[in-house]
Each structure stands twice: as C-alpha cells, then as structure tokens.
C-alpha cells in the first residue's frame, strides 16, 4: 500500500514551453501532497504544500506564477512549470500523506526535467 | 527552527561490515524522525521512523536506528552491509507540535553509502 506515482518519469522540452507533471496516490486518498526539487548531489528542497481543493502554500523564494500547483482531487496533484528555462532543469519529487498515519510522507519516483 | 545534520557526505564500507550513518538534529519541540533511502534517479523510500515509544526502531532491509534525546541523535545502523545497500540516505525531521498529523519535513544533506566487495 501507500504507492505514489509520477508521470512522466523523464521529460525534455525546449526553453519557453510549459511542462505538466502529475503526482497520483494510487491506493489511498491524500489530502495533502508536497512538491520537492532536488539538484544534483543535493538534498530535497520543499517547494510547496498542496491541499486538495485549496490553493497551494509556497515556500519562500518559490515563484508561484512559475510553478503552478493544482490539487483537484484526493488522488491527483499537478505541478506545471511555466515558460521553462534551462535553470529549471532538475529532479522534481512529490510526496503524499497517508490518511491518519502520523507524519509519514510517501514519495513518488520523481520526474527528471531537462530544459534545452 | 529545526535542522538536521548528517555527518559525512560519503561513507564507504566493505561488504559484510557494519554500516553507521550519523544524524543529529535540532528541534524546539519533540521530533518525529525518519530515514529515507534514494537509489539513482528514483524517489525516496522510507526505511524507518521514530514517532513515540520505543527508542530503538527497526526498519526494512535490516536497518535500525536509535533515538537518543540526550545526544539529539538518530543514527542509522546495519550489522552487515550488502552491495544492494549502496545508495544515498537521508535523515529527516518533522516537528511533533501536536494537532495536525502531517507537515513539512526538514532533510539532512544526505550521505552516499558505497559498499565495496
């Protein structure tokens, strides 16, 4: 149980285009999902907290107009990188909280974004 | 404020040797503590967690960790390393502030474990 998927696993796009990444909880409902960014050889940086049916809460320094987050259902959150630039190239990982299980986040497999 | 420090960005052991990955934390409230493992180009997999109760926590793949409040530590150990243990390991903390059952995780910098034959 507690499986989180992400799609696509890998995407290459041209500079200026927008890319959408999906995060799904496959066998549970997730009222809260988190989006992280990981640069090579570095730790995870929390970008935003996504709550179903409400606006995402962004961490300081994260551009909300650039990284659009939608949590339309209890099993799906999407991250859209708008007008992507090469500096947006990174590994994006989502996580979800399982029901009433205290504190534990379950992570998706990640999406490798490369912007040319 | 809370923080997590992992001592040693790289640890190298021989197959069959003891694995010890160090994690120290700082938190103004009782912490929940986690160890995650990440294989190349993959997400994070939960190894084990401490919330309350027994301070020695056993996880998957033979790993265990002990919460030591007096030392503000949560070191990860495994008696005998396997080649398949080679990966990056992250220690993480969530403040146990009561009320909400979920919240932000603060991650350590990560430790890359290399296992030699």
Residue B101 pLDDT level (bands cut at 50, 70, 90): very low
- Per-residue pLDDT, A52: 82
Quote the minimal CA–CA distance from A29 to chain B in Å: 14
Percentage, residues of chain B above pLDDT 90: 74
- Per-residue pLDDT, A27: 86
- Residue indicated by tokens 């259902």: A73
List chain A residues with pLDDT less than 70.
1, 99-103
- Per-residue pLDDT, B116: 96
Enumerate long-range contacts of A64-67, CB under 8 Å, 24 or more apart: A67/A35
DSSP 8-state secondary structure symbol assigned to residue A87: G
Enumerate the residues of chain A whose CB falls inside 8 A of the CB of residue B34: 104
Residue B113 pLDDT level (bands cut at 50, 70, 90): very high
Determine, for residues A44 and B107 on separate chains, whether the beta-carbon distance falls below 8 Å: yes
Pairing of strands B19-26, B31-38: unpaired
Of B43, B51, B107, the CB nearest to A43: B107
Minimal CA–CA distance to A108: which of B43, B46, B87, B45? B43
The whole-angstrom separation of Cα B100 and Cα B84 is 36
- Per-residue pLDDT, B78: 98
Dump the DSSP string for A2-58: --EEEE-SEEEE-TT--EEEEEEESSS--SEEEEEEE-TTS-EEEEEEEETTS--EE
Determine, for residues B94 and A103 on separate chains, whether the beta-carbon distance falls below 8 Å: yes
């Amino acid at each position: 149980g507690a499986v989180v998927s992400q799609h696509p696993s890998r995407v290459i796009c041209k500079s200026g285009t927008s890319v959408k990444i999906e995060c799904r909880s496959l066998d549970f409902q997730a009222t809260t999902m988190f989006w992280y960014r990981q640069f090579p050889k570095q730790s995870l940086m929390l970008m935003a907290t996504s709550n179903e049916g409400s606006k995402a809460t962004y961490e300081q320094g994260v551009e909300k107009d650039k990284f659009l987050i939608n949590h339309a259902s209890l099993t799906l959150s999407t991250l859209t990188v708008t007008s992507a630039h090469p500096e947006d190239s990174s590994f994006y990982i989502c996580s979800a909280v399982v029901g009433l299980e205290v504190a534990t986040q379950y992570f998706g497999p990640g999406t490798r974004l490369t912007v040319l | 404020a809370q923080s997590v420090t992992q001592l040693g960005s790289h640890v190298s052991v021989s197959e069959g040797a003891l694995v010890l990955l160090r994690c120290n934390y700082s938190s103004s409230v009782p912490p929940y503590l986690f160890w995650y493992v990440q294989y190349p180009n993959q997400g994070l997999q939960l190894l084990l967690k401490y919330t309350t109760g027994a301070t020695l926590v056993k996880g998957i793949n033979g790993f265990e960790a002990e919460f030591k409040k007096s030392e503000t530590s949560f070191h990860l150990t495994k008696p005998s390393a396997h080649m398949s243990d080679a990966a990056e390991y992250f220690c993480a903390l969530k403040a146990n502030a009561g009320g909400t059952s979920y919240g932000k995780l603060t991650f350590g910098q990560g430790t890359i474990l290399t296992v030699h034959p």
